[in-house]
């Protein structure tokens, strides 16, 4: 119920406009968002790196309505890739196609992401572009674009997709991505999707996650397993040990500000961990999705605000 409420709030443009301009809103978001400026996120990335964890940087934004906005967003990602290389950060970037203009014109999104992937492949040390997965209206186009970019000479290993285990279609999508050797981030999925296309029960979503995880880990391609679910993490570790899959053959991924204890303990046990760090002024939909995943976060954040 609360999950549906917060996921619906994520799409509310009027509330978003008010919240993103208010200083209390910004303070509210700071638990999960590393500030507004590129420097904020680069500093956060450095700190996370210092404790032995890798990073993926996300410039918050989605569903942009103008070509100019999309081009500016891509430009910022170019700067981030430059800074990652200059500062020698262990970091890559995550982006959303609707932030790169997919709602305006598919060609525009393709052009902007292609130039970022080419840059990620070319810089020293080489980096990587993860194309986040949005709501189901975008699934097919997002995967087609990742396949197309991955086919470009020189791009292999520098662009990857995201698969959501709540979608019934995901097993088929995984098979196609794996047949091309494309790196996958597996997550459960963060949007409201109808029963015709998505599992509704947590037990079904989790079971599909575990099934797809096993397919991924057997391929030898370097994939990311994004979850904070301790039961699933236990299953992943058990499977990796049983199948003699080396701890450096894949990575766990978690969100900035979520289960920092678990992030650190997995690294101490010798597993790889990448933290997804979002930043930027357009934090509202991202925060609403985090509240949907765990409504108790509202109380948690409010208590922290009062303590300051």
- Nearest residue to 161 via CA among 136, 143, 137: 143
Contact stretch for ligand FDA (CB under 6 A) within 61-69, 121-129, 189-197, 263-271: 189-197
Binding status of residue 189 toward ligand FDA by CB under 6 A: yes
* Helix runs in 51-133, H state only: 67-86, 106-122
| From 130, 183, 185, 290, the catalytic residue | 185
Binding status of residue 92 toward ligand FDA by CB under 6 A: no
Q: Which is nearer to ligand FDA, 82 or 300 (CB)?
A: 300
CA distances from 122 to 117, 125, 187, 197 (A): 9, 8, 28, 38
CB of 180 to ligand FDA, least distance (A): 19
Binding status of residue 293 toward ligand FDA by CB under 6 A: yes
Binding status of residue 190 toward ligand FDA by CB under 6 A: yes
Of 54, 98, 164, 263, the residue at the interface with ligand FDA (CB under 6 A) is 164
CB of 228 to ligand FDA, least distance (A): 3
d(CA 108, CA 166): 29
Question: Has 43 been annotated as catalytic?
Answer: no
Looking only at residues 132 through 151 of this chain, which bind ligand FDA when binding is defined by CB under 6 A? 132-133
221: Cβ–Cβ under 8 A, 6 or more apart, which residues? 178, 181, 182, 183, 184
CB of 109 to ligand FDA, least distance (A): 15
Question: Has 59 been annotated as catalytic?
Answer: no
Angle CA 54–290–29, to nearest 5: 85
Helices 67-86, 38-50: crossing angle, 10 deg rounding: 40
What are the catalytic residues?
Answer: 132, 185
């Amino acid at each position: 119920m609360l999950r549906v409420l917060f996921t619906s709030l994520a799409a509310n443009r009027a509330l978003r406009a008010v919240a993103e301009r208010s200083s209390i809103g910004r303070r509210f978001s700071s638990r999960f968002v590393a500030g507004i400026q590129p420097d904020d996120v680069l500093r956060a990335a450095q700190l996370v790196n210092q404790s032995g964890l890798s990073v993926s940087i996300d410039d918050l934004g989605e569903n942009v309505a103008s070509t100019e906005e999309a081009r500016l967003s891509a430009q910022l990602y170019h700067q981030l890739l430059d800074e990652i290389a200059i500062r020698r950060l262990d970091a890559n970037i995550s982006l959303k196609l609707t932030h790169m203009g997919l709602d305006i014109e598919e060609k525009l999104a393709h052009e902007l992401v292609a130039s970022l992937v080419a840059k990620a492949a070319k810089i020293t040390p080489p980096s990587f572009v993860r194309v986040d997965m949005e709501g189901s209206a975008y699934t097919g186009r997002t995967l087609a674009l990742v396949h197309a970019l991955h086919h470009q000479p020189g791009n292999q290993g520098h662009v990857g997709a995201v698969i959501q285990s709540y979608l019934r279609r995901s097993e088929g999508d995984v098979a196609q991505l794996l047949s091309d050797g494309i790196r996958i981030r597996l997550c459960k999925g963060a949007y409201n999707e109808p029963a015709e296309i998505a599992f509704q029960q947590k037990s079904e979503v989790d079971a599909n996650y575990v099934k797809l995880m096993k397919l991924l880990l057997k391929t030898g391609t370097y994939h990311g397993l994004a979850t904070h679910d301790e039961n699933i993490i236990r299953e992943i570790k058990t499977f990796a040990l049983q199948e003699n899959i080396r701890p450096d053959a894949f990575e766990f991924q978690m969100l900035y500000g979520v289960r920092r204890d678990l992030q650190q303990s997995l690294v101490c046990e010798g597993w790889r961990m990448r933290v997804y760090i979002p930043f930027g002024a357009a934090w509202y939909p991202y925060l609403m999705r985090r509240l949907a995943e765990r409504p108790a976060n509202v109380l948690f954040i409010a208590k922290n605000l009062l303590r300051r």
